[in-house]
């Protein structure tokens, strides 16, 4: 499958700090690429560089085989950008907002009307066309923000934290809409602080830290990078520091954490870890409400690779 976006040796510094350090990656047609990293990892600088909103020190960026620059208007008209900050006109209705942004690219009235209605349908705003932004909930406002960014049917879409502070219904609507755009052939770069979103919709994920790519691949490929074989979570009322110290002496245990009545233990290997743990709890008269074992999640891998939580 052809590469739609090509980034080679991208480097950008601010004074004495390197924000992006020699990044090289490609994005294929129809792919949803997740760009993940803690705050300050270089995500925003990378996106702004690709969009020619920022001058960079070194590197090459190509879109559709052409070098991207501030004057590449033939490329820019194929791009839709939805930033985290909602950018709509308060004095215009939902329909008129979408009409305005679509009209920046589509001048044919009949074609624009169809595109507007397609965007409204995709984002589930059918019943809110005559509403003004101030009448919308936070979730509906974000849907409007997305509709304005994709109404001209761009073939490349950048989505920066599109589901921040939205209700579950709006989140599901937004995620299903993004999947449909990808299925229809759009190439998407997606940033999020919600790891479960990246895991559910991204075809491939790049993890950035301190301006470098520290890992990339599918969710399954990334999980194989983890040294954690098993994670056991115990919901209990209390456990003493002495008992935690006893547990830490068990072989194969990599880490133990206890917070908000949740005891979380990660293992590098071993057999019947769950059975051994339940025996320990029983022998030490530690009661628990629930105990379960699972394979490491993408968030576990991220924490292991960066030493930080995605929302740090």
Q: Are 157 and 188 in contact (CB under 8 A)?
A: yes
Number of independent structural domains in the chain: 2
Which residues have a Cβ under 8 Å from the Cβ of 210 and sit 6 or more positions away? 18, 21, 40, 41, 42
Tell me, yes or no, whether 265 and 132 share the same domain: no
Question: Do 219 and 250 share a domain, yes or no?
Answer: no
Regarding whether 218 and 285 lie in a shared domain, the answer is no
Write down the mean pLDDT value for the chain. Answer: 92
Q: What is the pTM of this model?
A: 0.85
Tens of pLDDT, residue by residue over 7-64, are 999 999 998 899 999 999 999 999 999 999 888 889 999 999 999 999 999 999 999 9
Give CA–CA dist 269/271, Å, rounded. Answer: 7
Mapped onto helix, strand or coil, the DSSP state of residue 80 is: strand
Percent of the chain residues topping a pLDDT of 90:
74
Q: Are residues 251 and 197 in the same domain?
A: no
On whether residue 310 sits in a domain, the answer given is no
* Helices vs strands, H then E, count in the chain: 11, 14
Let me know how long the chain is. Answer: 312
Q: Which CATH number does the domain housing residue 279 bear?
A: 3.30.70.100
199 in the same domain as 275? no
Of 23, 100, 91, give the one whose Cα is nearest residue 57.
23
What HEC string does 17-60 produce?
EEEEEEEEEEEECCCEEEEECCCCCCHHHHHHHHCCCCCCCEEE
DSSP sequence for 160-175: ESTTTT--HHHHHHHH
Range of the domain at 246: 230-295
Which whole number is the average pLDDT over 198-226?
Answer: 92
Domain boundary, last residue among 179, 207, 223:
223
Q: Which pLDDT tens digit goes with each residue over 61-108?
A: 999 999 998 888 899 999 999 998 999 999 999 999 999 999 999 999
What does the pLDDT average to over 268-277? 84
Token digits of residue 131: 């509403």
Q: pLDDT of 252-270, one tens digit each? A: 898 899 999 999 998 987 6
Instruction: Evaluate whether residue 309 is within a structural domain.
Output: no
Q: What is the CATH number of the domain that holds 184?
A: 3.40.50.300
Q: Kindly state whether residues 147 and 280 are assigned to the same domain.
A: no
Residues 132 and 10 in one domain: yes
58 & 154 share domain:
yes
């Amino acid at each position: 499958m052809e590469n739609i976006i090509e980034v080679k040796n991208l480097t950008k510094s601010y004074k004495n700090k390197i924000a992006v350090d020699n990044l090289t990656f490609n994005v294929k047609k129809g792919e949803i690429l997740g760009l993940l990293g803690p705050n300050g990892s270089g995500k925003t600088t990378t996106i702004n560089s690709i969009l020619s909103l920022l001058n960079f020190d070194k590197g090459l960026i190509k879109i559709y085989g052409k070098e991207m620059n501030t004057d590449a208007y033939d490329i820019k008209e194929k791009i839709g950008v939805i930033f985290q900050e909602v950018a709509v006109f308060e004095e215009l209705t939902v329909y008129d907002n979408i009409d305005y942004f679509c009209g920046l690219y589509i001048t044919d009235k009949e074609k624009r009307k169809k595109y507007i209605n397609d965007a409204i349908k995709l984002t589930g705003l059918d019943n809110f066309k005559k509403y003004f932004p101030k009448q919308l909930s936070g979730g509906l406002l974000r849907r409007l923000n997305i509709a304005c960014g994709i109404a001209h049917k761009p073939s490349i879409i950048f989505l920066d934290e599109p589901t921040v502070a939205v209700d579950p219904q709006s989140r599901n609507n937004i995620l299903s809409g993004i999947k449909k755009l990808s299925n229809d052939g759009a190439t998407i770069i997606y940033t999020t602080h919600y790891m479960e979103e990246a895991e559910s919709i991204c075809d491939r994920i790049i993890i950035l830290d301190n301006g470098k790519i520290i890992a990339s691949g599918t969710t399954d490929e990334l999980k194989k990078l983890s040294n954690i074989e098993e994670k056991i979570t115990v919901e209990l009322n209390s456990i003493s520091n002495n008992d935690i110290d006893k547990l830490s002496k068990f072989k194969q245990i990599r880490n133990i954490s206890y917070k908000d009545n949740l005891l979380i233990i990660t293992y590098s290997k071993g057999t019947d870890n769950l059975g051994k743990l339940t025996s320990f709890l029983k022998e030490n008269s530690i009661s628990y409400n629930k105990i379960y074992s699972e394979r490491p999640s993408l968030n576990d891998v991220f924490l292991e690779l960066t030493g930080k939580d995605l929302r740090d």
